[in-house]
């Protein structure tokens, strides 16, 4: 399966039809979008998982380095950025707050702006999206991935009175709310996909993946690709 085109997102309508047939492999889709492109990667260090992932070569920023024509990262965690530079020679990540003041990235132009699994961490989401827009041209693709508010796993946990949530997360998004947020900031959603996060036991995730294949709105995470509107 691949990303689905967003051809109709009715403004003002209560009910939004979630695209079907779009359960994807998150990293494979991201790398396909970044191949041969000039990329701005927000949240590039992926702290606190940077050491374990970098040692395995599984850090998303490493994967993007291998396929992009140019890759510039931004991350707030200075210690993680320094560790990656000193231990894995990753020197293309700027220490800055992507939801704060504009970072010094040398006036570069980008073909792809990646905002992967960080939008749920920030309180000032509007500033984050404005930074993204400032780094975009008419042809640039903004790619956002995040936890899916309508996922099946969180719903089942809620039924037994539990919630598994990262201590830095401040919000959840669904297909409808993320698209609506982007539109309110002058961005046009053009593609959508849903994906599963890795689990320790692959057999445990199998039934959830089978359900998500038929109903992507129940998947763990979602991806929306957007461009500047007009």
The domain spanning residue 194 has which CATH number? Answer: 3.40.50.150
Look at residue 180 and tell me if it is in a domain. yes
* 213 in any annotated domain: yes
What's the pLDDT at 101?
Answer: 65
Counting Cβ atoms within 10 Å, is residue 222 exposed (0-12), middle (13-18) or buried (19+)? buried
**Is 172 a domain residue?**
yes
Tell me the backbone φ, ψ of residue 199, rounded to 5 degrees: -125, 160
In a domain, 8, yes or no: no
Domain assignment present for residue 14? The answer is no
Q: Which of helix, strand or coil describes residue 147? A: strand
User: How many whole angstroms separate alpha carbon 14 and alpha carbon 218?
Assistant: 19
Question: Structural domain tally of the chain?
Answer: 1
- Look at residue 106 and tell me whether its pLDDT is greater than 70: no
Is the distance from CB of 2 to CB of 214 less than 8 angstroms? no
2 found inside a domain:
no
67 inside domain: yes
Find the mean pLDDT for residues 95-119: 84
Residue 1 has pLDDT above 70, yes or no: no
For the segment 102-127, the average pLDDT, to the nearest whole number, is: 86
Contact by Cβ (8 Å): 81, 75: yes
Confidence of residue 102 (pLDDT cuts 50, 70, 90): low
CB 213: neighbour CB atoms within 10 A? Answer: 17
Nearest Cα to 153, choosing from 201, 203, 202, 212? 212
pLDDT tens string 48-94: 999 999 999 999 999 999 999 999 999 999 999 999 999 999 999 99
Per-residue model confidence (pLDDT) at position 111: 98
Secondary structure of residue 153 in the 3-state scheme: helix
Q: Tell me what pLDDT residue 207 has.
A: 85
Residues present in the chain in total: 230
- pLDDT of 230 strictly over 80: no
Q: Distances in Å between the alpha carbon of 169 and those of 58, 75, 147?
A: 23, 16, 10
* Domain of residue 75, residue span: 19-228
How large is the average pLDDT for residues 132-146? 95
């Amino acid at each position: 399966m691949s990303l689905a085109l967003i051809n109709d997102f009715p403004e003002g309508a209560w009910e939004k039809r979630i695209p079907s047939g779009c359960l994807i492999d998150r990293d494979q889709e991201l790398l396909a979008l970044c191949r041969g492109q000039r990329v701005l990667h927000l949240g590039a260090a992926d702290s606190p998982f940077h050491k374990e992932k970098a040692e395995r070569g599984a850090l998303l920023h490493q994967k993007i380095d291998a396929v992009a024509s140019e890759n510039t990262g931004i991350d707030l965690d200075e210690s993680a950025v320094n560790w990656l530079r000193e231990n894995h020679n990753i020197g293309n990540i700027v220490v800055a707050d992507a939801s704060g003041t504009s970072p010094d990235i040398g006036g570069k132009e980008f073909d792809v702006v990646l905002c992967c699994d960080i939008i749920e961490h920030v309180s000032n989401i509007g500033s984050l999206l404005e930074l993204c827009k400032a780094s975009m041209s008419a042809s640039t693709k903004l790619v956002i991935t995040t936890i899916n508010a309508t996922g099946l796993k969180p719903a089942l946990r809620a039924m037994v009175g539990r919630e598994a949530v990262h201590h830095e997360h401040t919000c959840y998004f669904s297909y409808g709310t993320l698209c609506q947020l982007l539109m309110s900031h002058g961005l046009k959603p053009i593609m959508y996909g849903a994906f599963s996060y890795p689990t320790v036991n692959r057999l445990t995730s199998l039934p959830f993946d089978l359900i998500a294949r038929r109903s992507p709105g129940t998947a763990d995470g979602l991806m929306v690709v957007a461009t500047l509107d007009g």
